[in-house]
Amino acid sequence: MSDQTVFIDDYVVSISELNKSFGANHVLRGIDLEVQRGEVVCIIGPSGSGKSTLLRCVNMLEKPSSGRIVVLGRELTHIDCDIDEARTKIGMVFQQFNLFPHMTALENVCIAQRKVLKRNSAVAEDIGRSLLQRVGLGEKADAYPGQLSGGQQQRVAIARALAMNPDVMLFDEATSALDPELVGEVLQVMRSLADDGMTMLVVTHEMGFASNVASRVVFMDGGVIVEQGPPSQVISAPREERTRTFLANVLNH
Amino acid sequence: MAISKRKRAMYTRYAVYAISIAALVAMVLFVDWGKLSNAMFRWNIVKEQFPDIFTKAAKNTVIFTILGFAGGLSLGLIFALMRLSTIRPYRWLAATYIEIFRGIPLVVTLLILGFGIPIATGWQWPNAYMQGAVPLALVASAYMAETIRAGIEAVPKGQMEAARSLGMSYPRAMGTIVIPQALRIIVPPLTNEFVLLIKDTSLISVLGVTDATKDLARFGRDGVNSTANATPLMVAGLVYLAMTLPLTQLVAWMERRAKAAGK
């Protein structure tokens, strides 16, 4: 830890002056965002607006070009930060599920518990089974990812992230790769997580989910946060022209 | 001439069959089989090759192959990981090594390392097996590094990201998530590599060998010298085939299976 600054406040995630460039492409342009414990923040916006990059910066899968990211009191952008340790408290769910195809559903949920948290196999397995139960897949513990539908795979991926007892969950377009009829089962699991008080950052195109579940909606465009607020404001009565255009395109097609 | 495409294809097919059969018949009729078998396949000489061809020669070929493969695989894995490193000097070092050892013929490498280094430094190889197997392993590792790297790169990037997002360090994610998947991809090409190594061990005899460390090819060559007949080389060739054919069939089977699974 040494001289690493520890911030004691209510924010689970605190981002300030965040910039990210890929070569000449300036993707994030000075993002400031704070997320409080128990908040469900939905990030919406057109593709290429930087919302996925922002989310991936929160657990440092993308390295910010500049700016400061503090998660759970740890300054991830500080040179002394143990990023592996910090990530155990930040769950992430990907668009492509990214389950480990050479392991069963249960092994997927147990592997990091054993290798990272050093839980013994029996404990890890108990936790793994109860989490699979929680996402409605208790019967599928021994199935390989290739034998599961997209919706089932994504629910296993959520269980895998929850197995680390994260304090915050990141969802990167978790339902975008799913067939339409499988979207509901995944959203339902996400919703029950929100109901249980999990702090969540959700990049999504599901306006219904954002309207009903989000405590705050953040609209991004061109690498900046254009406007944010409760869904009743941002989705139902947007102030900014860009937000209105985007919503008109999304909702009326 | 008005002949349709399909008719032409049909006549061409008949012609190829006819020519092949004619060639076969001509071979049977006109080759002097007695003379040929007398020079290349004499039963009494064939029998003389046993059991030494198995207990000494084939055994040494297998020992050289396994030492070369094991050494090549472990070194190859290290060079593959260096090639994929974000640290540039590692990448440069690995790339240079791979280019050098893939660019020089194995015989030259064998001679440089087997003879040149001892002459230049006064250092002696501890035994003849190491003298042959180490250069073989170094060359094999250069080829295997590229195979392994391709296998690792074929594992989707999301696998590494998912593992890292669960708090695994880079080496742990590589070891538990990426490399096990890469291994499945590279088993067929690595088996091919093994077959190439079996054959490449025949070059080790340029280093000069004792009776105890003779490999199959050298055994056959020495047999030719002592019997003034090509039979020992033919037998050696058959023993090579007995080792390589099952492996190439195995690779073909694995590739068919992988193709079926990919559908």
Percent of chain A residues topping a pLDDT of 70:
96
A96 → closest Cβ in B158, B163, B168: B158
B65-76 per-position pLDDT tens digit: 999 999 999 999
A59, A91, A100 member nearest B177 (Cβ): A100
Cβ–Cβ of A84/B177 closer than 8 Å? no
Tally A–B CB contacts below 8 A.
Answer: 60
Q: A161–B161: do the CB atoms touch at under 8 Å? A: no
Please indicate whether, in this complex, the C-beta atoms of A116 and B156 are within 8 angstroms of each other: no
The C-alpha of B167 sits at a distance from chain A's nearest C-alpha, in angstroms, of 4
- Choose, out of B86, B157, B165, B178, the residue to mutate when testing the contact with A (most A CBs < 10 Å): B165
Q: How far is B78 from B73, CA to CA, in rounded Å?
A: 9
**Between A105 and B256, the higher pLDDT residue:** A105
Query: Closest Cα of chain B to A172: distance in Å?
Result: 12
Per-residue H/E/C for chain A? CCCCCECCCCEEEEEEEEEEEECCEEEEEEEEEEEECCCEEEEECCCCCCHHHHHHHHCCCCCCCEEEEEECCEECCCCCCCHHHHHCCEEEECCCCCCCCCCCHHHHHHHHHHHCCCCCHHHHHHHHHHHHHHCCCHHHCCCCHHHCCHHHHHHHHHHHHHCCCCCEEEEECCCCCCCHHHHHHHHHHHHHHHHCCCEEEEECCCHHHHHHHCCEEEEEECCEEEEEECHHHHCCCCCCHHHHHHHHHHHCC
How confident is the model at residue B225, as a pLDDT? Answer: 87
pLDDT, residue A1, reads: 42
Distance from CA of A56 to the nearest CA of B (A): 10
The reported pLDDT for the residue numbered B255 is 86
Using a CB–CB cut-off of 8 Å, the residues of B that contact A are 156, 158-159, 161-169, 172, 176-177, 180-181, 184
**ipTM reported for the complex, 2 dp:** 0.93
Beta-carbon separation of B161 and A98 below 8 A: yes
Closest CA to A82 of A1, A153, A6: A1
| Rounded Cα distance, B175 and B177, in Å | 6
Residue A9's pLDDT band (boundaries 50, 70, 90)? low
Instruction: Yes or no: say if B170 and B163 are a contact pair by the CB < 8 Å rule.
Output: no
Which residues of chain B make contact with A98, given a CB cutoff of 8 A? Answer: 156, 158-159, 161-162
Q: Kindly determine whether residue B158 and residue A87, on different chains, have CB atoms separated by under 8 Å.
A: no
Q: Measured between beta carbons, which residues in chain B are less than 8 angstroms from residue A61?
A: 161, 164-165
- In terms of CA atoms, which chain A residue is nearest residue B177? A100
Task: Count how many residues are written for chain A.
Answer: 253
Query: Is beta strand A216-221 parallel, antiparallel or unpaired with respect to A224-229?
Result: antiparallel
A92 to chain B: nearest residue by CA?
B165
Minimal CA separation from B71 to chain A, in Å: 27
Tell me: pLDDT of A246 over 60. yes
**Are B167 and A84 a contacting pair at CB < 8 A?**
yes
Q: Which of A102, A104, A170 to mutate to test the interface with B (most CBs of B within 10 A)?
A: A102
Q: What are residue B241's DSSP bridge partners?
A: none
Residue A7 has pLDDT above 60, yes or no: no
Contact A184/B at CB under 8 A = no
- For residue B176, the 8-state DSSP code is I
Reported confidence tier of residue A5, pLDDT bands at 50, 70, 90: low
Give the distance, in angstroms, between the CA of residue A189 and the centroid of all CA atoms in the same chain.
13
Distance CA B174, CA B80 (A): 12
Determine the average pLDDT of the residues in A98-102. Answer: 96
Q: pLDDT digits over B190-200, tens only?
A: 999 999 999 99
Of A249, A220, A253, nearest to A234 by C-alpha is: A220
The answer to whether B177 contacts A85, with C-beta atoms less than 8 Å apart, is: no
pLDDT tens readout for residues A187-223 = 999 999 999 999 999 999 999 999 999 999 999 999 9
> Between chains, do A116 and B167 touch, taking CB under 8 Å as contact?
yes
Distance CA A149, CA B42 (A): 65
User: Out of A99, A115, A160, whose CB is closest to B172?
Assistant: A115
| Rounded-to-integer distance, Cα A234 and Cα A216, Å | 9
Provide, as residue numbers in chain B, all residues whose Cβ is less than 8 Å from the Cβ of A85: 167
User: What gap in Å lies between CA A18 and CA A33, rounded to an integer?
Assistant: 9
Angstrom distance (rounded) from CA A105 to CA B235: 53
d(CA A53, CA A170): 12
* DSSP state for residue B49 in the 8-state scheme: T
- Rounded CA gap, B23 and B15, in Å? 12
pLDDT at position A8, please?
Answer: 53
Q: What is the mean pLDDT of each run of 10 residues along chain B (263 residues)?
A: 87 95 92 86 83 87 95 96 95 97 95 92 89 95 96 96 97 96 92 95 87 86 87 92 94 85 57
Measured between alpha carbons, how far is B206 from B87 in angstroms, rounded to an integer?
39
Which pLDDT value is given to residue A105? Answer: 97
Tell whether the model's pLDDT for residue A12 goes beyond 90: yes
The pLDDT, as a whole number, for residue A55 is 97
In 3D, which of A215, A210, A209 has the Cα closest to residue A186?
Answer: A209
Residues 6+ apart with CB under 8 A from A252: none
- Of residues A59, A99, A100, nearest to B165 (C-beta): A59
- How high is the pLDDT of residue A6? 52
